Amino acid sequence: MIEQFAEGFGMAMRLDTMAMMCIGLFGGMLVGSLPGFTTLMAMAILLPISFFLEPIVGIPFLLGIYKGGIFGGSVPAILLSMPGTGAAVATSRDGYKLTQKGKSRKALDMALFSSVFGDTCSDIFTIMMIFPIAFLVMQFGPPELFAVLLMSLIIIAATSAANPLKSLIMMALGLWLSFIGTDPLGGAERFTFGLFDLKSGIPLLPMLIGLFALPEVASVVIRNDKARKLSALVGERLSLGEFRRCLKTICRSTVIGTMIGIVPGLGQIVAAMMGYSAAKNASDHPETFGEGEIEGVAAAEAANNAVNGPTMVPLLTLGIPGDNVTAILLGAFVAQGLRPGPQLFEEQGATVFAILVAMVIANLLFLVIGYLSVPFFSRLVTIKTSILIPMVIMFAFAGTYVYRSDPVDLLMLVAFGVFGIIAKAAKFDVMPLVMGFILGPSMEYAFGQTMAMSNGNALAFFATERIGALAVLIAAPIIGALLWRRLYGIPRTH
């Protein structure tokens, strides 16, 4: 195996591989930073290009798009409070506050460094531990997934706001919104009022842009400071000292993200929220989180990127794609004559290691590309408000429409925008709503599967062979209660 690794390392050191990775990274970053264009779409469209390239050039190219796209998503989240994906929601919370304080450059730098750090560590961990991870992945079935999702929701509700009742109300509302549409298991229509447009449920993108971006636009307009800029300054670059101060948080988030990457079906959104919650809990000044705390950006970005390494494991060791991104990569592998599966390492070990090494190199290349691009991106907020605000509104509507060309999505955008403005005025945090909405369907599906497996016996969660699920189910409320008490329950003395 060491020999294969050495051979693979040599194979990855090619100029054309690097060049194509750079193109992929840069293109992915651009696409990811435009709301409405998803990294997944970019990968699907550019997939045929990889068919005509050598495996060690074509697959790193796709990986580049993927990695660039994830960071790209955090750019509008930080600068305009416009998260294009669920994974960027946690980042936008402190990132946008930093932009308002004139520290957009610092926030983007921190997002870049912590992303690259989290990604690189999890990739290296994945390369070393690929077979133990493959074993762990198999231990998670629907009951365990349900338990972990329930725990995630409890932690989010407990840590997101000082008033847990408000959090729970918003989360319940989010869960209810996720019920609208077609029941994922039985196929029955729920709360659709017979409208065809509601049959496929509420789309995520208009909800995210509506809830997060439009209220910010409204508050700038209401303040009516036409001549001023959203922020006159882009601020200084991130200093080494600040990075060092956040290093503990970044490492913690990397570990959390990697662990969540191992659980099939959780992904970046949960990782970002858990990393953020953990950082807030561990901090001696949790009240600064949500008010422009650079550690918050670091925590979310390191965690959502650390998911990437382990999600490749089921694909490489079993040939099973866990999500859409890995499904596209599976297509790329197969088209190259590499059949992911148990024998891939025996037959093509060197090539696989070369691709894994290329993943690590892609991170380093991205550090350079990102570092050079951040100054250009961060200048965006120094545009005069009278020009920037119409631009943001245009991006919000165009981005929502371009996603699937459905005019109904625009109505949703406006509706969620109005809701977001009201919630903001009433001091209700919309984060638990979004998380309930995103995680609700997965949790419901896992619950339904468990019921189907046991012929409708609700005690299936407590079966002895499902001891893991049982442990999490019992621990979840206790952890939630403790977290809330620690963060908000005991008055602090400063």
Rounded-to-integer distance, Cα 222 and Cα 37, Å: 30
Binding mask 408-447 for other proteins (x = CB under 8 A): -------------------------------------x--
399 or 420: CB nearest other proteins: 399
186 binds other proteins (CB under 8 A): yes
User: Considering the complex, what minimum distance in angstroms separates the CB of residue 315 from other proteins?
Assistant: 9
State how far the alpha carbon of 381 is from the alpha carbons of 76, 223, 392, in Å. 10, 17, 10
Instruction: Tell which one of 142, 296, 309, 480 touches other proteins (CB under 8 A).
Output: 142
Q: How far is CA 392 from the centre of its chain?
A: 22
CA 443-447-452 angle, to 5 degrees, is: 145
User: Between residue 230 and residue 259, which ones bind other proteins under the rule CB under 8 A?
Assistant: none
User: Considering the complex, what minimum distance in angstroms separates the CB of residue 270 from other proteins?
Assistant: 16
Rounded-to-integer distance, Cα 92 and Cα 81, Å: 6
Binding mask 17-56 for other proteins (x = CB under 8 A): ---------------------x-xx-xxx-xx--x-----
Instruction: Tell which one of 2, 15, 187, 244 touches other proteins (CB under 8 A).
Output: 187
SS3 label, residue 219 = helix
335 binds other proteins (CB under 8 A): yes
Rounded-to-integer distance, Cα 235 and Cα 107, Å: 10
140 or 377: CB nearest other proteins: 140
User: Considering the complex, what minimum distance in angstroms separates the CB of residue 452 from other proteins?
Assistant: 4
407 binds other proteins (CB under 8 A): no
284 or 346: CB nearest other proteins: 346
Identify whether the C-beta of residue 235 lies closer than 8 Å to the C-beta of residue 103: yes
Residues comprising the chain, all counted? 494
User: Considering the complex, what minimum distance in angstroms separates the CB of residue 52 from other proteins?
Assistant: 9
54 or 287: CB nearest other proteins: 54
Identify whether the C-beta of residue 160 lies closer than 8 Å to the C-beta of residue 431: yes
66 or 117: CB nearest other proteins: 66
Identify whether the C-beta of residue 171 lies closer than 8 Å to the C-beta of residue 152: no
Q: Which region among 23-31, 132-140, 236-244, 419-427 touches other proteins (by CB under 8 A)?
A: 132-140
Rounded-to-integer distance, Cα 393 and Cα 269, Å: 25
Which helix (H) or strand (E) segment holds residue 252: the answer is helix 240-262
User: Considering the complex, what minimum distance in angstroms separates the CB of residue 358 from other proteins?
Assistant: 21
Rounded-to-integer distance, Cα 330 and Cα 439, Å: 25
337 binds other proteins (CB under 8 A): yes
Please, what is the end-to-end C-alpha distance for the chain in angstroms?
55
Instruction: Tell which one of 4, 182, 281, 288 touches other proteins (CB under 8 A).
Output: 182
Identify whether the C-beta of residue 422 lies closer than 8 Å to the C-beta of residue 429: no
| Of 280, 263, 235, the residue nearest 141 (C-alpha) | 263
User: Between residue 65 and residue 124, which ones bind other proteins under the rule CB under 8 A?
Assistant: none
| Of 65, 4, 97, the residue nearest 365 (C-alpha) | 65
Instruction: Tell which one of 21, 202, 328, 476 touches other proteins (CB under 8 A).
Output: 328
Q: Which region among 2-10, 360-368, 386-394, 448-456 touches other proteins (by CB under 8 A)?
A: 448-456
**Max CA separation in the chain (angstroms):** 66
User: Considering the complex, what minimum distance in angstroms separates the CB of residue 74 from other proteins?
Assistant: 21
Instruction: Tell which one of 168, 448, 463, 481 touches other proteins (CB under 8 A).
Output: 448
137 binds other proteins (CB under 8 A): yes
User: Considering the complex, what minimum distance in angstroms separates the CB of residue 75 from other proteins?
Assistant: 22
Instruction: Tell which one of 13, 422, 452, 478 touches other proteins (CB under 8 A).
Output: 452
Instruction: Tell which one of 342, 390, 477, 489 touches other proteins (CB under 8 A).
Output: 342
Q: Tell me the number of residues near other proteins by CB under 8 A.
A: 54
User: Considering the complex, what minimum distance in angstroms separates the CB of residue 439 from other proteins?
Assistant: 14
* C-beta contacts of 331-340 below 8 A and 24+ residues apart: 331/47, 332/47, 332/50, 332/51, 332/58, 332/59, 332/62, 333/55, 333/59, 335/50, 335/51, 336/50, 336/51, 336/54, 336/55, 336/58, 336/59, 337/55, 338/55, 340/315, 340/316
| Of 392, 311, 281, 391, the residue nearest 70 (C-alpha) | 311
Q: Which residues bind other proteins (CB under 8 A)?
A: 38, 40-41, 43-45, 47-48, 51, 137-139, 141-142, 181-182, 185-187, 196, 199-201, 264-265, 314, 318-322, 324-325, 327-328, 331, 334-337, 339-344, 404-405, 445, 448-449, 452-453, 455
